Amino acid sequence: MKITPAESLYILTDEQYALVEPILMEERDPRGRKPKISDRHALEGILYVLRMGCRWRQLPEDFGQWMMVFMRYKRWTERGTLWKVLMRLQKTGALRVSVISLQDERRPANKKWQ
């Protein structure tokens, strides 16, 4: 089996991806439009950015256009899909999820800087 350049950057095995694929299938476009990039490429691209700490524009083109991956990240984040995926992967031991809050504890979240 030939491995494509994007697959060489993947961090999830096929078995691990199969665990989260049903969650991603729920988020498919109800109108039936075919996405420009696959869910697998989008998820692996998102994990690459999170792992490497790079900017979206620095995402290797092997994952697809960075804007397509970013838009999928934005939609999945707003709908809670990415959180479900990350938690499922953490339960299986595929990755470790750490959450960091960037809120300044000296200032209430709803107050503007003065």
CA 88 to CA 16: how far, in whole Å?
9
Within-domain flag for 45: yes
Within-domain flag for 34: yes
Domain coverage including residue 80: 5-92
Within-domain flag for 80: yes
Within-domain flag for 114: no
| pLDDT one-digit tens code per residue, 8-44 | 666 888 899 999 999 998 877 667 777 788 999 999 9
Amino acid at 73: Y
| pLDDT one-digit tens code per residue, 78-100 | 999 999 999 998 888 777 766 66
Q: Look up the pTM and report it.
A: 0.75
Within-domain flag for 43: yes
CA 94 to CA 11: how far, in whole Å?
9
Write the DSSP symbol of residue 108: -
Give the chain's domain count: 1
pLDDT for 96: 74
CA 3 to CA 6: how far, in whole Å?
8
Within-domain flag for 107: no
